[in-house]
Amino acid sequence: MSPTLVLVNPAAGGGRAGRFWERLRLQAERLAPLRVVIPGGAEESRRAVRDALAAGCERVVAVGGDGTAHLAANVLLESEAKVTLGIVPAGTGSDLARALGIPRDPSEALRRALLGPPMRLDVGRCEGEAGGFFFINIASAGIGGLVDETVNAIPRRGRTAFLRATLRALRHYRCAPVRVAVDGEAWYEGPLFVLAVANGTTFGKGMRVAPQARPDDGLFDLVLVGEVAGWELIRRLPQLYFGRHLGARPVRYRQAREVRLEPLAALPVFDVDGETYPSGAATFTLLPGALAVAGPPTSPGRRGRESRVSFGVR
């Protein structure tokens, strides 16, 4: 069994990931011994990662979107495997890559994923009515789930897919009342537009919802927006893309290690690393340094020791 599994999601980014891999395959084979799997769906992907772990795999490289990295990370965390996750972003949003400072150039991203030394990344854990899951970038309640459902229904997604889906969701979303407790204390009660429990900085393809978040500081950045008119949100969208919204009147911000969400009416599905999960009452807990991810290579062809090093991304 090769010490590295490369998991390619050919459907990510409307087929972009499959095309990326065709261009990168020969380079990858020169860089490291590896086994490549191109699965037909989510369950086959999970099985491939589990089988690789059972065979002694030391590194899993996810070639695809945020959902591909999310799936691989969840299998690693559930298995409590001491395995490094490498990420080659080729999806529609690729927001996790922004948080981790992964190069946009596919060749550079591949070299980092295959050869970069392990670095410790914080992880979020959600326990809710429909079960539990891990997340590595952002989990959100409110309008985000509607946006994800719209984007995921588009077979071929262009650069403006998330923006168009956001504008469409603004026309249909109605705020639901919730209670939110933070680190055991009541923090908010009222109508909810969005609550972002953030480990990384962006969601929705570059919307800087949590501009001050760091994925290795042992804290969530919480950004909550209460009820606000749709036309006002459209006007403020540029602020969101530039991360200049935290001082706006409908926005609440703080850091925390645990968040308890209690919906008082039905909410849309949760948005979790760009994927959707059933919503409901849930507790989000920060797990410091729980996942090893591939950092910048120390030198070509040489892997460094595992370290907890700041990603330095704001």
How far apart are the C-alpha atoms of 244 and 39, rounded to whole Å?
40
CATH assignment of 126-288, among 2.60.200.40, 3.30.70.2860, 3.40.50.970, 3.30.200.20: 2.60.200.40
Contact 61, 50 (CB under 8 A): no
CATH homologous superfamily for the domain 4-115: Probable inorganic polyphosphate/atp-NAD kinase; domain 1 (3.40.50.10330)
22 classed as catalytic:
no
Distance between terminal CA atoms of the chain?
A: 38
Which of 29, 58, 232, 275 is flagged as catalytic? 275
Ranges under pLDDT 70 in the chain? 1, 13-14, 152-160, 229-234, 237, 298-314
Q: How much is the pTM?
A: 0.87
Contact 64, 20 (CB under 8 A): no
How far apart are the C-alpha atoms of 156 and 137, rounded to whole Å?
24
Contact 199, 137 (CB under 8 A): yes
Domain extents in the chain? 4-115, 126-288
Segment 271-289, tens digit of pLDDT = 999 889 999 999 999 999 9
Q: What are phi and psi of 293, to 5 degrees?
A: -125, 155
The strand pairing partners of 37, in sequence order, are: 7
